[in-house]
Amino acid sequence: MRSTTTAARLRANGFNEPELRELKRLSKPSLVQRFLDDELGYNKEPHGPTCRSPRRVLRDRVAQCMEGALVAAAALEANGYPALLMDLEATRDDDHVLAVFRQDGCWGAVAKSNYSGLRFREPVYRTLRELAISYFEHYYNPRGEKTLRRYSRPLALKRFDHLGWRTSEEDLWEIPAALCEAVHDSLLTPKQAKGLSRMDRRLYEAGRVGAAL
């Protein structure tokens, strides 16, 4: 009954039948991740920054991390999960956005990234801090600095239903703005941050396997 209700609600929110079928076939978070990795190219934004809706991503077949998180949240929602995003905030580096989900009381995540270590997490993390810190050793900038510092509370995308976030033809800049403005919790103390070592070259190179250059 829940899946029927969810499908009816998604139709009411604008998805057509082919879009619904594509989202519904991603019936597990791991299948959502495989879709992001294997069926969507990485959007290098050659014509300037974009923040496209899931409908536009499904049509164009490319996404960067924000757009990947939005389409992942839509796919998770189509299969019974709340549509939730979490922001990872870095220093001297870009933020990273995850679509997060909870299963059997533990958190996991789905994400689109040009870095192989910043993607899927199994739902084995008891707290959001545990989930966020699992990205720490894989989060680095081109200079080899470990840059992850903070994480946000989950942002419920139902807040943006008035924008038609699932199917809008307009860029959805209100969503990343809200993520930036959300309360963030620190992962490191100032002393810990000051004492960090540089990335190991092997882990650095492993994180760039399959990157869109």
Q: What is the pLDDT of residues 149-191, one digit of tens each?
A: 999 999 999 999 999 999 999 999 999 999 999 999 999 999 9
58-68 confidence digits (pLDDT tens)? 999 999 999 99
Tell me the average pLDDT across 59-78.
98
Cα separation, 54 vs 47, whole angstroms = 19
> How far apart, in Å, are the Cα atoms of 21 and each of 24, 26, 76?
5, 9, 13
User: Rounded to two decimals, what is the model's pTM?
Assistant: 0.94
Residue 213 pLDDT > 80: no
Asked if residue 7 lies in contact with residue 78, where contact means CB atoms within 8 angstroms, the answer is yes
For residue 12, pLDDT over 60 is answered with: no
- Domains of the chain, by residue range, sit at 2-207
Beta pairing, strands 148-152 & 84-90 = antiparallel
User: Would you state the pLDDT for residue 11?
Assistant: 62
2-207 folds as C8orf32 fold (3.10.620)
Q: What is the mean pLDDT of the chain?
A: 95
Report which of 201, 207, 33, 189 is spatially closest to residue 110, judged by C-alpha positions: 33
**Predicted local distance difference test score (pLDDT) of residue 2:** 47
Q: Looking at residue 1, what is its pLDDT?
A: 42
Mean per-residue pLDDT, 82-103: 98
